[in-house]
Structure 1
Amino acid sequence: MGKSNSLSSGLVPGEESSLKLHLLSKVDIFRDLAQDEMHTIEGMVKMVTCKKGHIFYRPEEGAEVLFLLKRGKVQVYTLTSEGKRLIIETIDPGTFFGEMPLTAQSMHQAFAEAVEDSLICVLSRGDMERLLLEKPQVALRLVDSLSRRLEETRIRLEEATFQNAAARVSRAILRLAQGTLELSGLTHQELADATGLYRETVTNVLNRLQAQGLVELGKKKIIILGRVGLQAVAEI
């Protein structure tokens, strides 16, 4: 795991075991495993707390573990040619990450960083590989997850490479709004991180979209006024 701060979970053994079993039961790739099999996996897992800013892995390092997020938030990102952060995925509690190098070491081209203090379950590469050999259904689910994430990564990188700033910002607004007409709690810098643009560029784009009557801007708030028009800009 990365070289930033990480500590033991601080839980007593019984509490930690129960918490690990609960988390594992919520992870899709482990569904339908028998109780004794879950206990076996639980025994392999180490639980640690990580401070905000902890780097789990970097490009070309190759994570030697599978991470399961219990509490907090993690961002998986890459850097554009201009050195700007482009967020590939935001990991929420109950989600695993770090699976790519288990399948293909050379595909590990991203950073993973805790953006909040986080509680993590860690499964070593060796234990995970043994589990994949013994439980083909887990291997198939892992491959399925990897395929989906690679496609999402491909789309995100394609957006960063080929779409202009207005299209990238518009697509990010529509994606993050998740079908609603209001996006709250997002700063211009965070939107810049999500699109791989400079904050000043994002601010200029938002002002232009507002002038066109497509959005209304407030403090950490974007209200979508013209969804169809915004979708048209997003498809440029």
Structure 2
Amino acid sequence: MSAQGSEFQKMIKELARRTGKPTQDAQAKKLGVSDTSLAAYLAGTQIPREKTLARMLDAVGIPPQEHTNYLMIRKTADILPYEHANGQELQLLPSAEEGLPAESPVVRRLPRGRFPLWAWGVALIPLGVFVWGGFTLLTSLLPASPATAVVASPPPPALRQCSLVNVLSSPVYVEIGDAEPVKSKVLGDRVRTLPVPRRTGPDGSSYQAVALPNRRDSPNGVGWMRAADLRPDPRQCADPSRRP
């Protein structure tokens, strides 16, 4: 304990002596504090509050005008630098009469060099804002990637117009004017007509292009029938692979 601490202890011993009581228990009772608190005051491990010290001074008959000197000694001891023990700092605690239980520890260890977690969070906020701002700026400066070409799927095959054979038998030619037909259609057969302009044959008849899906019948898949042998079918040919 420093010289100021020793002076504080001497002051407490003087107050205890002025009580005129032989035992520490009786002295504490006279001073209006507990035996435990008086022992701590005498040892210099606790410091009473100013109002507690003023009450002790009144108990031994010290006039109020003389309280200032005693209070200054108490204040000097209260602001003493913390003592060091095992690398930890010790802080004097107020006594039991000042709101703490008598069995409270005499000293409180103050950890060194510890940074609270909430302080870390506050410190990292500006860093996060800086990183996010830099990322946003970088992405704004980079050239935009070319748009991915969207390849549209081909539309479904258009529905083809069909016609019905309205005669007992109608020949189908690969070329208009052929001597022999490649096949014949009978009454009620459906044929798929092609969007090709009609042609006039050597016999003066108008011929309609029809589909011949079998390549053995026509290399280009087209045949010709007399337009007069066909009548429009209100239905449509949805399946282009179906033979006419």
TM-score, normalization by structure 1? 0.21
TM-score, normalization by structure 2? 0.21
